[in-house]
Structure 1
Amino acid sequence: MNVGDSNNGMLVIEVADALLDILSKVGYQRGPQRFREADRLRSQLDGVLTTGGSAYTLKPDRDGLCLRVEETLRRTLDEAVQAAEALQKDAGAHLREAFVAAYGIKPNPSVAYSQAVKAVEAVANPVFLPKSPEPTLGAVRSTLDQGRNKYVMAVSDRAGAPAGIDAAVELINLLWHGQRDRHAGGPTSAPVSQEAAETAVHAAALLVHWVSKGYVRKK
């Protein structure tokens, strides 16, 4: 049976989500043996969802459910989180929150987009604005845009020289300008759509990975 397609499918998913949250708390609070038992139950539940063809799977932290996404995207996110945490712990947490808010059983596009921006800020601000008293993604965008000739990418251009940072700047521009609910009352203010939130999470994962690994750097 496809759990996600049954008449009571969403109720089953919500119960499973709550169970995973309980198991995560029990595992950490009751010692190593309980942790192993809780982890085994989580793995069994994940197997049931996979075998049943459910649209849902375990969150990255295994404390709840989220929509099943393409495996390459999931690996990209995981790699970005690992790279970010090596540089700035908060960045990994923000990126996870963005993913869960975008793909959780109760999506929140506004939170997903906001957390995606924060994830990029967490790694980019210390690198590009180390002395700024009020660093923001907008300030990072301006710094890189105005100083394009001072930075390069790890990849080479068509002539074999280090490529310029146009791609990174445009991706930051996309993320920065696309957050239409950042300020209310403007002529272009609008709620964040689910599609925009998912796009922001993907863009943030790429930017976080690039910055954390030093793929965008000074000459």
Structure 2
Amino acid sequence: YRSTASNPDPQTKRKAIGLSTGEQLLAAVDQALQLDDHLRWEVQNSGIEPVPSEVPPVVPADFDWSKIPTQWAGERARTVDRLDKLLTEAGSAYEVNWSLPPRLDHRLDPTVDELLTRTITNSPSTAGKRLSDAKRHIYGLRPDPTAAYREAVRAVEEVACPLVLEKAAAASSATLGTVRNHLRDAPDKWQFVLLDNDGEGSVQPLVAMLDRLWTGQVSRHGGGRNSRDQTLAEGEAAVHLAATLVYLLGAGTLKRRKGSI
């Protein structure tokens, strides 16, 4: 599926309400990928292997395997990999996401995608799962910004609540909002790794990020005057802000000052 615009804006491309024939086809492909248990098994268990035709009949002891191209070991996974290459060559706005279950996602800048994926992989399992779900909701074939924002907030809570409010987290009473309030009201108890002009590790930068993520979730409660679903731009911003916070909090950049309780 190739966009008909010469230089389509990513936000504009994803605002169409109706589905074109090409999008209907991609939706069917996406559903087939997610429901294919054999494909899921191959991705999870078969891994990759050297392309047999590129391996010499007799392999020298000092053979450089890193120069040999690889492929998926499973036939079905190789078929989906060919689909992914066709989408790339066609300039499609979509690509195959190989996380389980495999699916079609909107194409991200490779550097941004790598950073997001690395954060998901290296995060505590619960936070990583939440962040992965948030990414799927915002970059899947049919984006759901409200769900993406919700999972982004939960991903940060998985790391921030037990770190800052351990007892409240154990009692399931801590939220991103209570974490923000504690850091804002008791800044002398905590130190951020980056120093300010006074040589102090003020937690204000973290408080500002937590506050914006928390207050920006206008879909959290229904019935309010300003309550509504999140926009696509809000969902994307929340996912990437959450990824930054999950990384920073998980990497030990926020520490309790010595002597504080």
TM-score range, shorter chain: 0.7 to 0.9
How far has the Cα of 1:32 moved from its partner?
4.7
The residue type paired with residue 202 of structure 1 is: H
RMSD, aligned α-carbons: 2.2
The answer for the alignment partner of 1:163 in structure 2 is: 201
How far has the Cα of 1:163 moved from its partner?
2.9
1:41-190 correspondence to structure 2 within 5 Å: 41-59=79-97, 61=99, 63-85=102-124, 89-132=125-168, 133=171, 134-158=173-197, 161=199, 163-190=201-228
- Unaligned stretches of 5+ residues in structure 2: 5-19, 47-71
**Aligned equivalents of 1:59, 1:155: Cα separation in 2:** 35
How far has the Cα of 1:95 moved from its partner?
0.4
**Residue 30 of structure 2 is aligned with which of 14, 17, 22?**
17
**Aligned equivalents of 1:65, 1:162: Cα separation in 2:** 46
**Counterparts in 2 of 1:143 and 1:123: CA distance versus 1, 3 Å:** same
- The TM-score with structure 2 as length reference comes to 0.74
**Aligned equivalents of 1:51, 1:174: Cα separation in 2:** 39
**Aligned equivalents of 2:75, 2:112: Cα separation in 1:** 29
Q: Which has the higher contact order (CA 8 A, sep 6+)?
A: 1
Rg larger in structure: 2
**Contact 1:59–1:100 (CA under 8 A) maintained in structure 2:** no
Percent of pairs identical after alignment?
30
How far has the Cα of 1:12 moved from its partner?
2.6
Secondary structure at the counterpart of residue 58 of structure 1: strand
Secondary structure at the counterpart of residue 174 of structure 1: helix
Whether 1:214 and 2:252 are equivalent positions in the alignment is: yes
1:27-46 correspondence to structure 2 within 5 Å: 27-29=39-41, 32=45, 36-46=74-84
**Aligned equivalents of 2:187, 2:96: Cα separation in 1:** 41
- Unaligned stretches of 5+ residues in structure 1: none
Count of matched residue pairs: 212
**Aligned equivalents of 2:23, 2:217: Cα separation in 1:** 30
The structure in which a higher percent of residues are helix is: 1
